[in-house]
């Protein structure tokens, strides 16, 4: 489990297709505190650490199944791509965002951006099947970042990015047309499921 509070920006330093896709991610994390088998959310995708190293800088390796590549924006990763990273939640950690599983539900597209003061308003188009789970003032995880939805119109929804979020994550690098991992709020999923039986 995660909180959607990004704690590092990693960088893809190698990609290799070996049956599954294997990626090496450079990180600012202390790799001495990461175990083989640990979960790290990479742009919101919960992935398992399979190797660690410190030369020429700290890194960890992950394997990504074809199913995950097809259901997320991992297929757009390239060497040099920067990624939002978050270590798995530990008992007693501050829950600053919302509960995030790291199981991406689909891919949304950035369809508009404009500045509002120092902040940037970004409009996304969600997959039709996920739109019903997105509500104004509700939570959504986008590329692993816990965010508050401002407004919703059909499958389109808007989010406001403050300057801190744009510098502490990769959101300052996003542009119109980009494909973004989306994980809907778990509570919204269960409420919708319960209504099916009401």
pLDDT tens string, the chain, 198 residues long: the values are 899 999 999 999 999 998 899 999 999 999 999 999 999 999 999 999 999 999 889 999 999 999 999 999 999 999 999 999 999 988 777 777 888 999 999 999 999 999 999 999 999 999 999 999 999 999 999 999 999 999 999 999 999 999 999 999 999 999 999 999 999 988 777 777 777 776
Cα dihedral 108, 109, 113, 116 in deg (nearest 10)? 0
pTM above 0.85, yes or no: yes
35: helix, coil or strand? coil
- The two tokens of residue 167 are 């510098």
The yes or no reply on domain 8-87 and CATH 2.30.300.10 is no
Task: Give the fold, CATH level 3, of 106-195.
Answer: Elongation Factor Tu (Ef-tu); domain 3 (2.40.30)
Nearest by Cα to 9 from 155, 136, 167, 140: 167
Q: What is the DSSP string of 54-66?
A: -SSS-EEEEEE-H
Q: What pLDDT is recorded for position 198? A: 67
Domain positions in the chain = 8-87, 106-195
Q: Do domains 8-87 and 106-195 have the same CATH topology?
A: yes
């Amino acid at each position: 489990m995660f909180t959607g509070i990004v704690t590092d920006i990693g960088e893809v330093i190698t990609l290799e297709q070996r049956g599954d896709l294997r990626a090496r991610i450079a990180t600012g994390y202390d790799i001495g505190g990461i175990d083989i088998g640990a979960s790290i959310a990479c742009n919101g995708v919960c992935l398992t650490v399979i190797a660690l190293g410190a030369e020429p800088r700290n890194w960890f390796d992950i394997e990504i199944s074809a199913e995950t590549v097809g259901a997320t924006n991992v297929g757009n990763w390239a060497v040099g791509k920067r990624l939002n990273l978050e270590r798995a939640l530990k008992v007693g950690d501050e829950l600053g965002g919302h509960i995030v599983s790291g199981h991406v539900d689909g891919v949304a597209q950035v369809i508009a951006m404009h500045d509002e003061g120092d902040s940037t308003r970004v409009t996304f188009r969600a997959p039709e099947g996920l739109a019903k789970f997105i509500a104004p003032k509700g939570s959504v995880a986008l590329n692993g970042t816990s965010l508050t939805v401002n407004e919703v119109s059909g499958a389109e929804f808007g989010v406001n990015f403050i300057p801190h979020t744009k510098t502490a994550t990769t959101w300052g690098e996003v542009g119109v047309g980009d494909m973004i991992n989306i994980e809907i709020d778990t509570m919204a999923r269960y409420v919708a499921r319960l209504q099916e039986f009401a």
